[in-house]
Amino acid sequence: MSIIIPTLNEEGHIIQLIERLESCSAPIEIIIADGGSTDNTIANAQHAGAKVVNLKKPSRPAQLNIGADIAKADILYFVHADTLPPTDFAEQIVTAVKNGARFGCFRFKFDKNKGMLKFNSYCTRFPIMMFRGGDQSLFIQKSLFDKLGGYDESHVVMEDYDIIRRGKKLSEFTLIQDDVQVSTRKYEQNSYLRVNWANFIVFSLYYCGVSPEKLLNIYLYLIKHPKAEMK
């Protein structure tokens, strides 16, 4: 399994994530696709044993595609740097693939699971597109990924929804009923209602065919995003 992690100034999270990934019993390859970090992200990742490719300019879909291009395994697993998959993530993904799954994701829970955040977490157990997102991580067989042409690099805030939407036209999407732990940092800089309102607006406009550039501008207008520079 090849694990691709897009990064941009993630020195505070990357070592913990790599250690979690390496604790699994399955053979894995960890690829850091960096977008030009100015902190110790790259050095920390290399020290932890990960392979690093540096695009020098942030663009999450481009970073994900570059990581996939150099991946050697038949299963790709895309993980955000501020998340922690279940300890047995690899075994669960391999089992799902052996049972016929071609792509899918986990549910999620927040690292500070309180108040209304519990409701968000609960909703991710249902197979509804509005409750999907990159924070839940995404596994996909490389053959399907290549057939889809990878991530659409014109999308930034909706790249995960877009590839899932396209993939579901070719294969069933599998939701593994276990949780990825997700950071609440977006909610720490914005109110709960503001983040969810922004997500709903951008999700709705995406399905109405609004251009990726306008979606990004609207999203960054609606909330203060910790990774606003990742374009």
**pTM, full prediction:** 0.92
What value does the CA radius of gyration of the chain take, rounded to a whole number of Å? 16
Question: What is the rounded distance in angstroms from the CA atom of residue 29 to the CA atom of residue 128?
Answer: 30
Residue 230 banded pLDDT, cuts 50, 70, 90: very low
Residue 191 in any domain: the answer is no
The average pLDDT across 159-163 equals 94
Is pLDDT larger for residue 114 or for residue 229?
114
How many domains is the chain partitioned into structurally? 1
Q: Could you tell me the CATH number of the domain that includes residue 33?
A: 3.90.550.10
Residue 111 in any domain: the answer is yes
* pLDDT one-digit tens code per residue, 86-141: 999 999 999 999 999 999 999 999 988 778 888 889 999 999 988 888 789 999 99
* Per-residue b or e along 46-67, where b marks 16 or more CB atoms closer than 10 Å to that residue's CB: eebebbbebbeebbbbbbbbbb
* pLDDT one-digit tens code per residue, 29-59: 999 999 999 999 999 999 999 999 999 888 9
Indicate the SS3 state at residue 113.
Answer: coil
- Domain of 72, in residue numbers: 2-182
Question: What is the rounded distance in angstroms from the CA atom of residue 222 to the CA atom of residue 1?
Answer: 37
